[in-house]
Amino acid sequence: MPHELIEAPIADREAVAAAVAGADAVVHLAARAGIPDSVADPIGTFEVNVAQTVGLLDAARLAGVGRFVLASSNAAAGDHEPPADETDLPHPVSPYGASKLAGEAYCQAFAATFGLAACALRFSNAYGPYSLHKKSVVAAWLRAALEGRPLVIHGDGEQTRDFVYSGDLAGAVVAALDAPAEVVAGELFQAGTGRETTINELAAAIGRAVGGDVEIRHGPSRAGDVRRNVSRVGKAAERLGYRAAVSLEDGLAATARWYETALADDALAAVTPHAASGSE
């Protein structure tokens, strides 16, 4: 089946309407991601993550789309005694988390009001190849480690996260698309590994992934960060048949190999024009 790539902001209502016309399903991955950015610009985060998400939901409704899957975040649950559960009373501690919680609520509302089989997947901390543009901790630290720069830990490093490989998250999305509509409509699923990793442990694993010692420095804690975070993944396993399969060690090794190639290609592209002009 042929594929068409449409490059447009989701704020462009005409482009969005054209993109969803005739679609069976919409997977909404676009977002203003990251807690620090949301602290610096909460209104901008609201516009992208809430207003534009509602616009996309409504475009899907008007086009008769049958399925809508929203990529949400554990930041929506906020500061809870882990593991995070779909039944926890949300307590977001950042504008980013609040914006993702609002998106989840709108998916539930569109399912109940309009019959759109919309659901939300609460992604844990995602990492993987093709993420040079990301500001997340794994992306930032792999770049730093491969470029010989120190890894900066905010706080004591004993805060924990649930790191999930991008390939496993793709599996969660496919599972949400393939499940019967009555299983997913208006539902929320934790999409993580169920394994809790300290930031200090992550730094050590990054060092092993790049095959060398890395310098580690500590800085002040950041506003909006939760202390502990890990997902309970039983609901996704039971209803969607989804479980993450890639270990942190294997996922970081694969990601590091991709980063090595991508950074080398970037460096080559940066010097090639100068070499060409010097030969003329």
Residue 219 φ/ψ region, left for φ over 0, alpha for ψ in the -120 to 50 degree band, beta for the rest: beta
263 beta partners: none
- CATH for 13-266 (3.90.400.10, 3.40.50.10480, 3.10.20.30, 3.40.50.720): 3.40.50.720
Q: Are 75 and 222 in contact (CB under 8 A)?
A: no
Please report which confidence band the pLDDT of residue 251 belongs to, taking 50, 70 and 90 as the band edges. Answer: very high
- Residue 148's CB is within 10 A of a number of other CB atoms, namely 9
The C-alpha atoms of residue 49 and residue 98 are separated, in whole angstroms, by 9
The C-alpha atoms of residue 73 and residue 86 are separated, in whole angstroms, by 12
pLDDT given at position 271 = 56
Catalytic: 96? yes
Helix, strand, or coil (residue 83): coil
Q: Which of 96, 127, 242, 259 is catalytic?
A: 96
What the block records as the tokens of 192 is 């993580």
Is the bond preceding residue 9 a cis peptide, omega within 30 degrees?
no
**145, 124, 127: which is closest to 135 by C-alpha?**
127
- Between 71-80, 173-182, 271-280, the lowest mean confidence (pLDDT) is in 271-280
What the block records as the tokens of 277 is 């002009």
What does the pLDDT average to over 133-148? 94
Please report which confidence band the pLDDT of residue 272 belongs to, taking 50, 70 and 90 as the band edges. Answer: low
- pLDDT at residue 80 above 90? no
pLDDT given at position 205 = 97
Question: What residue ranges do the domains of the chain occupy?
Answer: 13-266
- pLDDT at residue 279 above 80? no
The C-alpha atoms of residue 25 and residue 205 are separated, in whole angstroms, by 37
What does the pLDDT average to over 61-74? 97
Q: Are 95 and 50 in contact (CB under 8 A)?
A: no
Q: What angle do CA 44, 49, 51 make, to 5 degrees?
A: 85
What the block records as the tokens of 124 is 């844990």
The C-alpha atoms of residue 23 and residue 10 are separated, in whole angstroms, by 16
The C-alpha atoms of residue 227 and residue 157 are separated, in whole angstroms, by 10
List Cβ neighbours of 174 (8 Å cut-off, separation of 6 or more).
none
pLDDT given at position 276 = 37
DSSP 156: S
What does the pLDDT average to over 48-61? 98
Calculate what percentage of the chain has a pLDDT beyond 70.
Answer: 95
- pLDDT at residue 277 above 90? no
pLDDT given at position 3 = 83
Q: What is the pLDDT of residues 161-215, one digit of tens each?
A: 999 999 999 999 999 999 999 999 999 999 999 999 999 999 999 999 999 889 9
Residues present in the chain in total: 280
pLDDT given at position 274 = 42
Mean pLDDT of the chain: 93
